[in-house]
Structure 1
Amino acid sequence: MMNKLKIVFLLCFVQQLVIAQEKPNIVLLFSDDAGYADFGFHGSKIMKTPNLDKLAKQAVRFTQGYVSDPTCGPSRAGLITGRYQQRFGFEENNVPGFMSAVSAADGREMGLPVEEVTIADYMKKMGYTTSFYGKWHLGGDDRFHPVKRGFDEFYGFRGGARSYFPYSNIPAQKMDLMERGFGNFVEPEQYLTDALAMEAIDFIERNAKAKKPFFTILSFNAVHTPMDATKEDLDQFPELKGKRKIVAAMTLALDRACGKVLDKLKELGIDKNTLVVFTNDNGGPTDKNAGVNFPLSGTKSSHLEGGIRVPFLIKWPNNTGANTTYDYPISTLDLLPTFFAIGGGDVRTIKGTDGVDLLPYITGENTERPHEVLFWRKDTRGVIRRGDWKLIRYPDRPAELYNIPNDISETHNLVSKHPKMVKEMFKELFAWELTLERPRWMLKKAFEKVDIDRMDKFRDQSKYIDGESK
């Protein structure tokens, strides 16, 4: 009898192991502050991105991929929860904000609320080993730490920006230091973009050997400031100068790092059972890192297309089309339910998600739009995208209305021609805002003017196609 029980137990164990092995691995390659136009697969003749260009030919490229906010921290908060971050008060720019916040939640108290369920929490429930490498930017206090938010492994930094080279003098803020696991601060021995790729590769190798399904977010800080690049990468762009030269070198390093990860998946023979996503957290800040968003208008921190539309690729061999495009608007909010569904979960069990499982739309099983409406908000600025129409509400000027497919650069304001539509979209935006939580922290009003001024100054991105103002 005992032998029969042992055999049954062993068969059940083997069955569960086989099921686990069949789950697809998931790799999210996430860049930071990259310009929409600064990739070969988006037409750049200046940037060298052969690995990502190759990925684009093997993937579905989303022509209208959006983030939930045009700045780093809130955008990440939306992605990692699959919910509009305004629903839990993570609205007013980045965290921590020692000098800029004017509310009770300041400094280390600012972060992704602990009651929010993360993408890693969901994937662990599905039997995945989870990891996060790179820029966190969702709270500096210990209770916000990645290993306490569902990730099994972490090597990165808690803040929003740091040097790409090892620190010789320890900065005052430990959130700028590289940290392995929890509290073990270890600076990299090489250029950070390359170091992060090697960490992810080590994680992939270990789990592939153990035949465990894995989920990893490789959250590069490239190409966010500071403008750091190696001499070898800079030498690849002798015709460029200034920030444009540096961002080209940083983009080359980003592409190289992504290529190493993709090559490792193929080397291990698991590439066909691995879903790979490449996207970015917000539009390029032309003034800060010389990123270019053309033909989109505007930059990071604005709600013009150049602030919220990002490069977006999904590759899953034998499941999604290769070298194809998908033209309806989608969002990084969709990644959590998509990953959960691919891992075998029932999306209906996800509480409060604003995203959708993209797979039925990619495969053509569902021919409708994934989202009839999308929203954005920061302070008094608000945006609603309904179908092909986009309304932007400003604090200092009349609203603007654009038909995005016909006017991708947002140059023809049609407010006066469609007063009824404007009124209806205003009401719908306001109705959505009534469902939100008040911001947990507020910025000084002066920062809103900075964002508006930046939008006005860098609205016409055609001036910066070659990296310098014409």
Structure 2
Amino acid sequence: MKNIQNSKSMKSPILIAFIFGVFSYMYGQNQPNIVFILSDDAGYADFGFQGSKEFKTPHLDALAKSGVKFTQAYVSAAVCGPSRAGILTGKYQQRFGYEENNVPGYMSASGIIGDEMGLPLDQKLISEYLQEQGYKTALFGKWHMGNADRFHPTKRGFDTFYGFRGGARSYYEFDENNKSSRKEDRMERGFGNFEESELYLTDALANETIQFIEENKAQPFFVYLSFNAVHTPMEAHPDDLKKFPNLEGKRKTLAAMTLALDRACGKVIDKLDELGLRENTIIVFTNDNGGPSDTNASLNKPLGGTKANHLEGGIRVPFLMALPKNKQKNTTYQYPISTLDLFATFYNIAGGNEKQITGLDGVNLLPYVTGENKLRPHETLYWKKEVRGAIRHLDWKLIRYPDRPAELYNLAEDEAEINNLATTHPDIVNDLYKQFFEWEVSLERPLWMLKHKYEKAAIERLDKYKN
């Protein structure tokens, strides 16, 4: 009898541990995985699902058919760094002094400069919130939120980091013929351990993501796959270039780089399918700002404008969302949304209550895309870069310039922003000016500023690619 009792007492902890493990696994599996894929400087029209006949994007086209395509998705900034800061915080980045200027960049001597520039440490990122929800978190690729160690991804809620700290770098490893002295260009695994990859970088980022998914398949995970593709330098894999014999110059190189981007996305999605995780994963694909047509030959048609300005071509981006269990398959959502909404959406799907987080400007998109809420997610959206700014209220959009009168467009009738209605609707101009100013005065002063000569270059780019 004594031996039997001892046997039972020995088994009880094992049984309890087993039961706890089963419940932990089941709970983990009920929390959807989150795969967020962000491309860099892609053109609005440069994907098959956006209507391109020149570029080949079969995997992203398939993703569009498996989920929701948003026709009016906006970023919170027309350049890379601020846009990403808005995504990670769920707030207009100007609220904490992160004006629409990259870090580090071509900044004036006033304010914070160089490696002192970064996403302020008093801002809590979505990666940190998801860690608290029990998620394993990873960032693969471009960071661009500050080069100093204190801004490092592994200190901002990411368990795993494989990428580079800066805003752009070569797609090939550095050697005697391909050099860079900047620390932020170096590939890094974890913290402070710089490594190079022999692979074309876009493929290498996909491979690292796949490995992370395999290693964490039994628990909820958040992947931020932050491509530098198709940002300059214009470097395509030779095998990909051969696929576009009818294109030339930058346009051919961009098509090949986009093909590699699509292939990398396909590898990650295929791995989710292979492991049986797709049904319990939300996948989002979007771009960080409009395409810079002058530097990488991207197309934003039918939208006017480019990266770095507030015309639609600078701030409206391709956006796909595939929900768990194939909900809302092959559908289109037409009301304006913002990449600021990703924070609240991800936090909610992870089991959190986004309404308990103060200061968010984004909203949870789930009730809107499922049809539970038929209202607009946003009646008003804002953009600001020093003197320049824009406001969209319902379908009216006002753009404020430093060197000319403001322009007014009705986007429901004129998404290409060809017909300026400012002189025929002065009352709407006045109302939107006042509304924009009320928002503007609620913001923090910029922590850093752009040199004025670069603002002049931005205006010249706008004029060249306006329509």
**Under a length normalisation based on structure 2, what TM-score does the superposition of the two structures give?**
0.96
| Residue aligning to 1:141 | 148
| Residue aligning to 1:88 | 96
Specify which of 93, 110, 114 is matched with residue 121 of structure 2. Answer: 114
Determine the C-alpha separation between the residues in 2 that align with 1:372 and 1:3: 62
The farther-off stretch of 175-184 and 313-322 is 313-322
Determine the C-alpha separation between the residues in 2 that align with 1:52 and 1:76: 21
| Residue aligning to 2:37 | 29
Q: CA deviation at 1:17?
A: 2.9
Specify which of 391, 397, 401 is matched with residue 404 of structure 2. Answer: 397
Q: Which runs of 5+ in 1 are unaligned?
A: 461-470
| Residue aligning to 2:206 | 197
Q: CA deviation at 1:13?
A: 4.7
Does residue 47 in structure 1 map to residue 68 in structure 2? no
Specify which of 243, 252, 257 is matched with residue 236 of structure 1. Answer: 243
| Superposed counterparts of 1:207-286, under 5 Å | 207-208=216-217, 211-286=218-293
3-state SS of 1:376 partner: strand
The farther-off stretch of 3-12 and 359-368 is 3-12
Determine the C-alpha separation between the residues in 1 that align with 2:259 and 2:108: 35
Specify which of 404, 421, 425 is matched with residue 418 of structure 1. Answer: 425
Q: CA deviation at 1:416?
A: 1.5
Q: CA deviation at 1:269?
A: 0.8
Give the letter aligned to residue 418 of structure 2.
Answer: T
Q: Deviations along 1:417-466, whole A, 9 cap, x unmatched?
A: 21111111100100001110000001111111111110100112xxxxxx
Determine the C-alpha separation between the residues in 2 that align with 1:145 and 1:445: 30
Q: Deviations along 1:329-361, whole A, 9 cap, x unmatched?
A: 001000010000001101112221100000000
3-state SS of 1:51 partner: helix
| Superposed counterparts of 1:370-381, under 5 Å | 370-381=377-388
Determine the C-alpha separation between the residues in 2 that align with 1:392 and 1:147: 38
Q: Do the aligned partners of 2:128 and 2:158 also contact (CA within 8 Å) in 1? A: yes
Q: CA deviation at 1:55?
A: 0.7
Q: Which runs of 5+ in 2 are unaligned?
A: 1-7
| Residue aligning to 2:440 | 433
Larger Rg: 2
| Residue aligning to 2:337 | 330
**Under a length normalisation based on structure 1, what TM-score does the superposition of the two structures give?**
0.95
Q: Deviations along 1:121-155, whole A, 9 cap, x unmatched?
A: 11111110000000100100000000000000000
Q: Do the aligned partners of 1:319 and 1:363 also contact (CA within 8 Å) in 2? A: no
Q: CA deviation at 1:317?
A: 3.7
Determine the C-alpha separation between the residues in 1 that align with 2:100 and 2:83: 11
3-state SS of 2:267 partner: helix
Q: Do the aligned partners of 1:92 and 1:441 also contact (CA within 8 Å) in 2? A: no
Give the letter aligned to residue 44 of structure 1.
Answer: S
Determine the C-alpha separation between the residues in 1 that align with 2:79 and 2:329: 30
Determine the C-alpha separation between the residues in 1 that align with 2:180 and 2:67: 41
Q: CA deviation at 1:172?
A: 1.5
Q: Deviations along 1:356-377, whole A, 9 cap, x unmatched?
A: 0000000000000000110000
| Residue aligning to 2:71 | 63
Q: Do the aligned partners of 2:59 and 2:262 also contact (CA within 8 Å) in 1? A: yes
Does residue 172 in structure 1 map to residue 184 in structure 2? no
Determine the C-alpha separation between the residues in 1 that align with 2:367 and 2:191: 38
Q: CA deviation at 1:284?
A: 0.4
Aligned length: 457
